[in-house]
Chains A and B, each alone.
Chain A
């Protein structure tokens, strides 16, 4: 099977700014790739280049085995057949929901198109909304119409540009599930751009992390979360603490104890990463760590423990065990959890 999307060495510049710098990605059929990174990292630029809204300066983009942009010639968006969903739903305000969803279905007979529209509205649970107009819908409903509209022509690839960024949390979680279900049931591959790492972890079959125009890591969500290619990725994907490492008596260790490092790695270029759920805080009057801050998160507390050398370590504690600011104790790794050696900066 041909890949729904192959991005090869794509470069896109705006004046002197290289927004996308030599990025290559290949999608598997039916795969949902979450493209995540801080704002301004080039993820939306890459997505818009794939859609044909921007012309790339170098590299190549293929959709379903067809070359659509080679850096010189650019196939216009209307001939690429990729479905697009934006943050600002972008529905056609002067058309009913039915006409919006049917917009891309020209060339099909009336009854065929009507059946397809009904099928799509059903897919997004809006079967009875066909006669309404966009201004009569809630934010979530509009976004589901936008999804149905983009899926209606049966695109080989769906592109989502921060689609839920303006919705509230609960609605976002619901829509995420809806999108996943709709894509799976139609077998459509998709690229999902978001700056929210929780959303990326939740929705992506794979995750691609971008920084300053570069792709810094592509992998399964758990790999990206637990084995980041560098400190930036580790920090970006979720709460984490980074401890300096040193060699003493032939053993590489941090303040939390020894860690395994591959042979030949320069220990001056790495730090030890621990996630808050990897460590516990055991109160003790002679302990070397002091609680300096705490936040309540509902299911538990997130405490900041300061070590003797001034390093701060985030610790997750149970809601039954609120950490007291100023209390002293020791930090310990939980059984089965390990510190991960992480390069300070990925070479890119």
Chain B
């Protein structure tokens, strides 16, 4: 391999003494890949157990499912995903374009207010919509008294209704990514297109949206994952997806293996969604930011156009957040002043506490893991570390039912293992504990935390890290002195995103919670699934309030614009 070059290899013969590394150097060099591998392993274990269960399929279960519900479930899943995907893509992109490319009364405020539905769980908007627009609801009542009992009225408890509800609560994911991309990247190309004579709309269609494709694909990817993970909202609307299938088998039979096999089906759909996202994204990753003032410059709207823009924003916000929240508040006041009272209201603080404990533990776990893994990738040169980091992010590819059933299988195996080595703990410790719940939540929600920490550390150039090291600072101390102070805002944002997800999370809580450990989301779901909508208002509002705190933090950051170095 090495050809000796003429006249330049004389010093090659001298070899001073051996290179002896100190123990702590060796430990430091080896610990980064090790930590990254351990974290990746913990994330992958549940899905690995799940996949193994397919290797010994129970054909009876499959045959029975195939002959009964499965074909319909596959169809419903596909229709729902396609409908919500297009709905959120359209609504999110349109709103992002409206608030970025135009100035109209309230456009700045709407720029951050439009993410409010992030605080609204789909199962809450779902039951409020059903009770207001459903057959027995007030609107249908007024309609019937005006046009007669047989007058046509849209059936809200349907696939269409479910698609509308998911679109309204999930569009902010597309909106957020599109808005950021518009504000940071697409400005230069947009300005050039306009200077070449294109109208704003034409420049948007031909230049800006193709540039936004990676961001839009990522946003739609998240939306589809959130839709797939749900099995509460879809049940209200009578939509029978594969996730509902897992829930039904697990709750009906507690047959771990059958549920596991069904959960792999959900996983397959999730992988298909990821494949789709990658394909849509094409070779482009997120585009390069082209300097600081690279955002799309806004055109001022006047007259009718300006009013229409404001009305459109108000309408979206009202339908997705304002009106349902107002309805919940009215119900809650009713409940509080009425004689009937919310069932279990005495345990409200318990449920709230459970939700907060769970969210806090999950956020702390995820952020510690994310900070360690992302820093490991920076400090370690081995390819293994980079791969491990990438694997850690696949939690996001695993819908709630997949993670839940996978964690059950893993913890049962752990229980069995502990028993085998003579540690005979009662089974509930591993399988029915808050620890198991936090583990499942962390596997599921580490991805947003990881993304946030990665984005934060991207702000700190490799050269800054290298400079600190060459000045004699060890990696562990660089994290504390350089990396954390410089990425604090991102780490905070990440923990907040994880916490919102944890408070809103329902499927994993329903499947895995220890007996008696109910969260706000479980309480809400139990009441709403018995059609006690008005009584579900108090816990639902509590979830929205808790989730609003982090959303407000995020909004404030958006309102202030991008952080300047």
Q: Which residues of A contact B (CB under 8 A)?
A: 6-9, 11, 18, 21-26, 48, 51-55, 58-60, 62, 65-70, 72-84, 86, 88, 90-94, 103-104, 106, 135, 146, 149-150, 153, 159, 214-215, 218, 347-348
Q: B18, A75: Cβ atoms under 8 Å?
A: no
9-residue interface stretch from B8-16, B64-72, B261-269, B385-393: B8-16
Q: Which of B4, B25, B472 contacts A75 (CB 8 A)?
A: B25
Contact A215 B5 (CB under 8 A): yes
- A54 to B462 CA separation, bound complex (whole angstroms): 12
A278 vs B469: C-alpha distance in the bound complex, in angstroms? 49
Q: Would you call B467 and A90 a contact (CB within 8 A)? A: yes
In the complex, the answer to whether B5 meets A150 with C-beta atoms within 8 Å is no
Q: B9 contacts A22, CB within 8 Å?
A: yes
Q: Is the CB of A153 within 8 A of B472?
A: yes
Closest CB in chain A relative to B449 CB, distance in Å: 22
Instruction: Collect the chain A residues with CB atoms within 8 Å of residue B485's CB.
Output: 94
| Additional A-B contacts beyond A24-B12, A103-B473 (6; CB < 8 A) | A11-B1, A18-B1, A24-B10, A91-B464, A92-B464, A347-B6
The reply on B486 being an interface residue by CB < 8 A is yes
* Given known A-B contacts A62-B16, A86-B466, A149-B467, A22 and B4 have beta carbons under 8 A apart: yes
**B2 contact from A58, A65, A146, Cβ within 8 A:** A58
Which residues of B approach A to under 8 Å, CB–CB? Answer: 1-6, 8-12, 14-19, 21-22, 25, 28-29, 381, 461, 463-464, 466-475, 482, 485-486, 564-565
16 pairs, A vs B, C-beta closer than 8 Å: A24-B11, A48-B466, A52-B469, A54-B381, A59-B12, A66-B16, A76-B25, A77-B469, A78-B472, A92-B468, A93-B486, A93-B565, A103-B468, A103-B471, A103-B473, A159-B470
Select A78's contact among B18, B19, B469, beta carbons within 8 Å: B469
- Residues of chain B within 8 A of A67, CB atoms compared: 15-19
Beta-carbon contact of B14 and A8 below 8 Å:
yes
Residue of A nearest to B478 (CB): A78
Q: Collect the chain B residues with CB atoms within 8 Å of residue A68's CB.
A: 19
Using CB atoms, name the residue of chain B closest to A146. B467
Do residues A6 and B461 form an inter-chain contact, with CB atoms below 8 A?
no
**Is there contact, CB below 8 Å, between B381 and A55?**
yes
**CB atoms of B463 and A104 under 8 A apart:** no
Q: Tally of A-B residue pairs with Cβ under 8 A?
A: 130
User: How many angstroms between the C-alpha atoms of A76 and B467 in the bound complex?
Assistant: 13
The interface residues of chain A lying within 8 Å CB-to-CB of B469 are: 52-53, 76-78
Q: How far is the CB of A69 from chain B (nearest CB, A)?
A: 7
Residues of B within 8 A of A91 (CB): 464
Whole-angstrom distance from the CB of B560 to the nearest CB of chain A?
A: 17
- For A26, list chain B residues within 8 Å (CB): 11
Cβ 8 A contact of B466, one of A53, A81, A149: A53
What's the minimum C-beta distance from A230 to chain B, rounded to whole angstroms? 12
B470 near A83 (CB under 8 angstroms)?
yes
How far does the alpha carbon of A88 sit from the alpha carbon of B460 in the complex, in Å? 11
Least distance between A16 CB and chain B CB atoms (Å)? 11
Q: A80 touching B12 by the CB < 8 A rule?
A: no
Determine if A22 and B3 form an interchain contact, defined as CB atoms under 8 angstroms apart: yes
Residues of A within 8 A of B28 (CB): 76
| B6 engages A24 (CB within 8 Å) | no
A150-B466 in contact given A24-B12, A73-B19, A75-B25 (Cβ < 8 Å): no
**Docked CA distance A26–B469 (Å):** 24
**Which of A8, A48, A78 sits near B474, CB closer than 8 Å?**
A78
On whether A51 and B466 interact (CB within 8 A), knowing A75-B25, A104-B472, A150-B471, the answer reads: yes
Asked if A76 and B29 sit within 8 Å, CB to CB, the answer is yes
Minimal beta-carbon separation of A191 from chain B (angstroms): 13
Determine the chain B residues whose CB is within 8 A of the CB of A62 once the complex forms.
Answer: 16
Inter-chain CA distance A150–B471, complex, in Å, is 7
Q: A60's closest neighbor in chain B, by CB?
A: B15
Question: Nearest residue in B to A3 (C-beta to C-beta)?
Answer: B11
Considering the chains assembled together, what is the distance between the CA atoms of A53 and B485 in angstroms? 23
B470 with A77: CB separation less than 8 A: yes
Asked if B472 contacts A106 (CB within 8 A), the reply is yes
- Once A22-B4, A75-B19, A135-B565 are accepted as A-B contacts, the answer to whether A8 and B467 lie under 8 Å apart by CB is no
Q: Which residues of A contact B25 (CB under 8 A)?
A: 75-76, 79
CA distance A153 to B468 in the complex (A): 12
Chain A residue with minimal CB distance to B26?
A73
A-B pairs with the 4 shortest C-beta distances? A104-B471, A90-B463, A77-B469, A84-B470
A73 to chain B: which residues have CB within 8 Å? 19, 21
Residues of A contacting B470 in the complex (Cβ-Cβ under 8 angstroms):
51-52, 77-78, 80-84, 150, 159
Most buried by A among B4, B5, B464, B482: B5
Closest B residue by C-beta to A53: B466
- Bound form: Cα–Cα A218–B8 in Å: 9
Chain A residues with Cβ below 8 Å from B29 are: 74, 76
List of B residues within 8 angstroms of A79 by Cβ? 22, 25, 472
Give the shortest distance, in Å, between A190 (CB) and chain B (any CB): 13
- Are B381 and A22 in contact, with the CB atoms below 8 A? no
Q: How many angstroms from the CA of A58 to the CA of B4 in the assembled complex?
A: 13
Complex CA–CA separation, A1 to B1 (angstroms): 34
Q: Please, which residue of chain A has its CB at the minimum distance from the CB of B21?
A: A73
Q: Which chain B residues lie closer than 8 Å to A59 at the CB level? A: 12
Residue of A nearest to B20 (CB): A73
> Closest CB of chain A to B458's CB: distance in Å?
14
Candidate in A23, A48, A93, A149 with the most chain B CB atoms within 10 angstroms: A93
Question: Closest CB of chain B to A145's CB: distance in Å?
Answer: 11
A143 to chain B, nearest CB (A): 13
Please, how many angstroms separate the alpha-carbon atoms of A214 and B20 in the complex? Answer: 29
Q: For residue B488, give the distance in angstroms from its CB to the closest CB of chain A.
A: 9
User: How far, in angstroms, from A90 to B467 measured CA to CA in the complex?
Assistant: 7
- Report Cα–Cα, A80/B21, bound state, in Å: 12
Nearest CB on B from A347, distance (A): 6
Taking a contact as CB atoms under 8 Å apart, the answer to whether B11 and A6 are in contact is yes
Chain A residue at minimal CB-CB distance from B470: A84
Shortest distance between the CB of A48 and any CB in chain B (Å): 8
By a CB distance below 8 angstroms, the chain A residues around B14 are: 6, 8
Residues in A neighbouring B564, C-beta threshold 8 A: 135
Residues A8 and B381 in contact, CB atoms below 8 Å apart: no
CA distance A83 to B14 in the complex (A): 25
Q: Looking at the assembled complex, report how far the CB atom of A132 sits from the nearest CB atom of chain B, in whole angstroms.
A: 15
Query: Contact at A88–B19, with CB atoms within 8 Å?
Result: no
- Chain A residues contacting B474 (CB-CB under 8 Å) are 78
Q: Which residues of A contact B11 (CB under 8 A)?
A: 6-8, 24-26
Contact in complex: A92, B461 (CB < 8 Å): no
User: Is there contact, CB below 8 Å, between A94 and B486?
Assistant: yes
Question: Chain B contacts of A90 at CB under 8 A?
Answer: 461, 463-464, 466-467
